[in-house]
Chains A and B, each alone.
Chain A
Amino acid sequence: MSAVEQEALVEELPELPTRRVGSPARAWTQWLLRRLGLAILTLLAVSIIVFFATNALGDPVRAILGKDYDVSPDRVAALEQLLHLDLPTWQRYLMWLGDLLRGDLGVSAANGLPVAELIGDRVINSAFLVLVTAVIMIPTSIGLAMLAARWRGGALDNSLQFVTLALAGLPEFVTGILLVALFSTSVFHWLPAVTVMPVGGAPWDRPASMILPVATLLIAVVPYLARILRSTMIEAMDSDYVELARLKGVPEGLVLRRHVLPNTVVPTIQVTALQLAWLVGGVVLVEYLFNYPGIGATLVDSVRNSDFPMVQALAMIIAAVYIVVNLIADVLSILFTPRARTGMVK
């Protein structure tokens, strides 16, 4: 090829984004600030809903005191003062929000102790349960999805599809009760049915008592996650670039690892985040079922006792986790999508 011909062949490269606002770091900061701002706005909206919803439930003092309401006017007065019931609702909201922003979760209406003190350990216990579940959930789901996608249409895939569909359809309290019946009461007596903890103890001191709660949560989230991941993997496996990899003689295992998996990372992150966020709320029922000392039992008790400061604090924590998990998922998604990542600096 002559130099002239070669010159003629060279087509202009599309400009890489030159219209930069600044460095990639600056673009990231701007993006993050915007997203954080949105997250704060969302939390603010949640706080309004939580506060006014709990207020709309009725007179907290009457709910707390029950029969005593009519006979002990001095306790009514004390509670009313504690809860600032003499002020208009919006003013109480602002006070509550101000306290919240200063990290003061308020005082329990049931026993007068600071909410933070009452739920601190509980939040840690719940977080531990969710963390253990997540650590097992992610590799299990990816593994099952890979197996099913690799042998698509085979016996393994078909039975996995059937089992996961059946399990995904079961509510977690049903699976929980079935597991208890199977492993601790009716059939075998291997595992404790409820969590019994000594005072001041932590659940990780007794791993055996965590098995059933974790298993119940896993059965609730893994089937759904595995099914979604299987279909995103199959989509990637049917793509032209995977066909080209095969036609280049890339062995099937390498095709899966190098060409399929990286392109399923983003859907994996997004669905995993949704499932994680669900876990944070879904944990309530399962904790209650197994008497696990987490936020679940506390939340149920607080609702029953009309302990509004506790309910509000717990609801806000759950909402915050939900938002943070999704924010992290979005950051990771951008990091793992070349097109989005390179687009950041535009």
Chain B
Amino acid sequence: MSQTVTEELRCRVEDLRISLPARGVDVVDHVDLTLKAGEILGLVGESGSGKTTTGTALLGYARTGAAISGGDIEVAGHKVRELGPAQVRAIRGVTIGYVPQDPSSALNPSIRIGAQLRELLDLHDIGTPEERGRRIRQILPEVGLPNDEAFLRRYPHQLSGGQVQRVALAMVFLPRPQVLVLDEPTTGLDVTTQGMVLRTLEELCRRFDVAALYVTHDLSVVATISNRVAVMYAGRLAEIGPVKQIFTNPSHPYTRALLNAIPHLHRPFALTGIPGRTPAPGNRPPGCRFNDRCSFAVPECSAEEPPDVEVSPGHFAACIRTDALPAWDPTDRVVADTDPRRDRKIILTVSDLDIFYGTSHVVHGVNFDLAVQEVVALVGESGSGKTTISRCVGGIHDNWDGTIAVDGEPLATAARKRTADQRRRVQYIFQNPYLSLNPRRTVEQILVRPLELFGVATGKAARERAAQLLEDVQLGESAMSLRTNRLSGGERQRVAIARAIAVEPDILVCDEITSALDVSIQGSITELLNSIKAERHISMLFVTHDLALVRSIADRILVLQNGRLVESGLAADVLDRPQEEYTQKLLANTPTLDRWMDTSH
């Protein structure tokens, strides 16, 4: 961190409370934060924790249906809650800026880039019209964008995702704000683009001496960019402190559980999830909100809300058991990498695979194989062809040439042309469990259907088998009669996994199956996949953009770029000693926790 943090307080939030007046419940309560000039505070939490709500509250904004109902918010000397609507608008954008989560939907599709950049300056009458034009031309190169007239005349849809995000950054820095709220600004970007955006952001924060609140679910990004970290759980801060303290001496059980769910690039970790699910506003347990999922909980934990305990200077944890926690040693969960001398009995062979979309040739001559009880990860940036390859293996995309063979037996291009047994042996799990399960069917129907279809079991036997499958994916038989709308994202993905393994396949094709899920759920799904692989001797083709996750789940790795295989080998070899420039670039841009791995830091 090159930034110089001064003692100048830019933003102070005390006892913040945000509620849903219609339901009479709090979304966020008792949140205290401070931001100093030149500082980036990472606000980390899983979905539903209230982190975005807290972030926009700094701008005096609450979404429709929610209201800031208590506490003080002070931003650069303005008491936000005491300002009228016009006064709040006057500081928004100028004194305190906001960078949205998904800039491709946050830039107005019908207004040219130049006009959108200019809007705020015009609105607040900053400088003369000529000066405004000059400032726009000055800032664009600073975020790595051209500043010619042709670029300013473009519409958002004529830019790439990374460029749109940099336009959003340029826009927010134009009026030189003193405080910045960034809401997951790199979610959905490729690692190299994310790396560039993060570097630009850090540089601009330093140059303009702003105080930034970086809201994200990604602990690895926070570890790379922030000075301090606040961890949020169920509407409250669980822990807050300097970045080094949070990662080397996490003192709240929730922070520890989160860290246990995060994969590391350079060491294979056994990931674990957090049992149970995050309570929604209104259903939060009394006392410490984490007590029902916490492995260190004692009866007192549910009695009253825990006070903030100062673990070390500036490092607070809202936990009465901080003294009882063992010393933090992240390396105790490190497992062994795949043994390179392991025998490989090949089950899937892909040779000279060429894939087309219409007339465009998207994947060029890819060769690889997959052994029994082995996980091969397909990695690469968007557009690299990793998902396309997996869809061809699954028989969902049928416009390809080459050979895909299971046990030496070549498969037809489309799933419908394959024999029932061939289809049974290769099962596909989709990225988004909200879309891949039929919402009108119960979990039982979803699981019994493939059993009957492939003649594995029928009637009572099928139902018993479905119940057993639910046990196997740690959902429990009680889920049988539910429809999927009653299940959380992680639970849905478990149902999707149970459906895939129901017919005893030999190969699972997993297409980004954890990327739509929270980190703690990703951890538990990874844990589940590892046990399925060990117990059922299933092989997996694991598509992902997350290189660190590869280390925790895959034996081998295939790196793809623009539809070509650029590097492949054992996961440990490729991740620790990348040979190709492209792989090296991907790895260099992957945010990681590795620098906090050594406890002597």
Per the 8 Å Cβ criterion, residues 117-138 of B in contact with A are 119-120, 123-124
The proximity string for B residues 199-220 relative to A, scoring 1 for CB distances below 8 Å and 0 otherwise, is 1100100000000000000000
The proximity string for B residues 83-104 relative to A, scoring 1 for CB distances below 8 Å and 0 otherwise, is 0001011111110001011100
Cβ contact within 8 Å between B61 and A247: yes
Query: Which of the 9-residue segments B139-147, B316-324, B532-540 touches chain A?
Result: B139-147
The proximity string for A residues 1-16 relative to B, scoring 1 for CB distances below 8 Å and 0 otherwise, is 1000110111101101
Of B86, B93, B145, the contact of A247 (CB 8 Å cutoff): B93
Cβ contact within 8 Å between A248 and B92: yes
Counting contact residues on chain A (CB < 8 A from B), the size range is: 20 to 34
A241 touches B (CB below 8 Å)? yes
Please give, as numbers and ranges, the residues of chain A lying within 8 Å of B102 by CB-CB distance.
240
Query: Which of the 9-residue segments B37-45, B150-158, B449-457, B503-511 touches chain A?
Result: B150-158
B408 touches A (CB below 8 Å)? no
Per the 8 Å Cβ criterion, residues 122-149 of A in contact with B are none
Cβ contact within 8 Å between A263 and B106: no
A244 touches B (CB below 8 Å)? yes
Please give, as numbers and ranges, the residues of chain B lying within 8 Å of A262 by CB-CB distance.
108, 110-111
Please give, as numbers and ranges, the residues of chain B lying within 8 Å of A73 by CB-CB distance.
none
Of A259, A336, A339, the contact of B157 (CB 8 Å cutoff): A339
Cβ contact within 8 Å between A249 and B157: no
Q: How far is the CB of B560 from chain A (nearest CB, A)?
A: 19
Q: A6-B144, A11-B160 are in contact. Are A248 and B109 (CB under 8 A)?
A: no
Q: A239-B105, A244-B106 are in contact. Are A9 and B120 (CB under 8 A)?
A: no
Please give, as numbers and ranges, the residues of chain A lying within 8 Å of B163 by CB-CB distance.
11, 13-14
Q: How far is the CB of B183 from chain A (nearest CB, A)?
A: 9
The chain B residue with its CB closest to the CB of A237 is B64
B193 touches A (CB below 8 Å)? yes
Please give, as numbers and ranges, the residues of chain B lying within 8 Å of A336 by CB-CB distance.
110
Please give, as numbers and ranges, the residues of chain A lying within 8 Å of B101 by CB-CB distance.
240
A66 touches B (CB below 8 Å)? no
The proximity string for A residues 220-259 relative to B, scoring 1 for CB distances below 8 Å and 0 otherwise, is 0000000000000000001111011111111100100011
Main secondary structure of the interface of A (DSSP, over half): helix
Cβ contact within 8 Å between A246 and B61: yes
Question: CA–CA, A188 to B469, complex, Å?
Answer: 76
Please give, as numbers and ranges, the residues of chain B lying within 8 Å of A103 by CB-CB distance.
none
Cβ contact within 8 Å between A248 and B196: no
Question: CA–CA, A240 to B98, complex, Å?
Answer: 12
Cβ contact within 8 Å between A249 and B110: no
The winner among B141, B158, B199, B200 for most chain A CB atoms within 10 A is B158
Cβ contact within 8 Å between A250 and B105: no
Cβ contact within 8 Å between B123 and A339: no
Cβ contact within 8 Å between B93 and A249: yes
B523 touches A (CB below 8 Å)? no
Please give, as numbers and ranges, the residues of chain A lying within 8 Å of B64 by CB-CB distance.
238
B248 touches A (CB below 8 Å)? no
The chain B residue with its CB closest to the CB of A7 is B144
B170 touches A (CB below 8 Å)? no
B482 touches A (CB below 8 Å)? no
Per the 8 Å Cβ criterion, residues 43-89 of A in contact with B are none
B59 touches A (CB below 8 Å)? yes
Cβ contact within 8 Å between B105 and A251: no
Cβ contact within 8 Å between A247 and B203: no
Q: A247-B92, A249-B124 are in contact. Are A11 and B162 (CB under 8 A)?
A: yes
A342 touches B (CB below 8 Å)? yes
A338 touches B (CB below 8 Å)? yes
Cβ contact within 8 Å between B203 and A1: yes
Of A13, A240, A259, A337, the contact of B151 (CB 8 Å cutoff): A13
Cβ contact within 8 Å between B105 and A247: no
Of A6, A240, A247, A249, the contact of B123 (CB 8 Å cutoff): A249
B238 touches A (CB below 8 Å)? no
Cβ contact within 8 Å between B59 and A339: no
Please give, as numbers and ranges, the residues of chain A lying within 8 Å of B94 by CB-CB distance.
249
Of A238, A241, A254, A339, the contact of B106 (CB 8 Å cutoff): A241
Q: How far is the CB of B417 from chain A (nearest CB, A)?
A: 35
Of A9, A241, A254, the contact of B199 (CB 8 Å cutoff): A9
Q: How far is the CB of B161 from chain A (nearest CB, A)?
A: 10
The chain B residue with its CB closest to the CB of A254 is B123
The winner among A9, A14, A243 for most chain B CB atoms within 10 A is A9
Please give, as numbers and ranges, the residues of chain B lying within 8 Å of A258 by CB-CB distance.
111, 119
Question: CA–CA, A262 to B112, complex, Å?
Answer: 12
Cβ contact within 8 Å between B200 and A9: yes
Of A6, A244, A342, the contact of B100 (CB 8 Å cutoff): A244
The proximity string for A residues 80-109 relative to B, scoring 1 for CB distances below 8 Å and 0 otherwise, is 000000000000000000000000000000
Please give, as numbers and ranges, the residues of chain A lying within 8 Å of B56 by CB-CB distance.
247
Of B98, B107, B119, the contact of A250 (CB 8 Å cutoff): B119
The chain A residue with its CB closest to the CB of B150 is A16
Question: CA–CA, A16 to B142, complex, Å?
Answer: 23
Please give, as numbers and ranges, the residues of chain A lying within 8 Å of B112 by CB-CB distance.
338
Please give, as numbers and ranges, the residues of chain B lying within 8 Å of A246 by CB-CB distance.
61, 92
Cβ contact within 8 Å between A10 and B111: no
Please give, as numbers and ranges, the residues of chain A lying within 8 Å of B154 by CB-CB distance.
16
Per the 8 Å Cβ criterion, residues 318-346 of A in contact with B are 336-339, 342
B159 touches A (CB below 8 Å)? yes
Cβ contact within 8 Å between B120 and A248: yes
Of A8, A10, A250, A342, the contact of B158 (CB 8 Å cutoff): A342
Please give, as numbers and ranges, the residues of chain A lying within 8 Å of B100 by CB-CB distance.
240, 243-244, 247
Cβ contact within 8 Å between A14 and B89: no
Question: CA–CA, A244 to B56, complex, Å?
Answer: 10
Q: 28 A-B residue contacts at CB 8 Å?
A: A1-B142, A5-B199, A6-B144, A9-B196, A10-B145, A10-B146, A13-B151, A14-B159, A14-B160, A14-B163, A16-B158, A240-B105, A240-B106, A244-B106, A247-B92, A247-B93, A247-B100, A248-B92, A248-B93, A248-B123, A249-B88, A249-B91, A249-B124, A250-B89, A262-B111, A263-B108, A263-B110, A339-B109
- List of 6 A-B pairs having minimum Cβ-Cβ separation, nearest first: A9-B144, A249-B92, A248-B93, A249-B89, A338-B155, A240-B106
Known pairs A9-B200, A11-B144, A336-B110 / 10 extra A-B pairs, C-beta < 8 Å: A10-B144, A13-B151, A14-B160, A14-B163, A244-B107, A247-B59, A262-B108, A262-B111, A263-B109, A265-B110
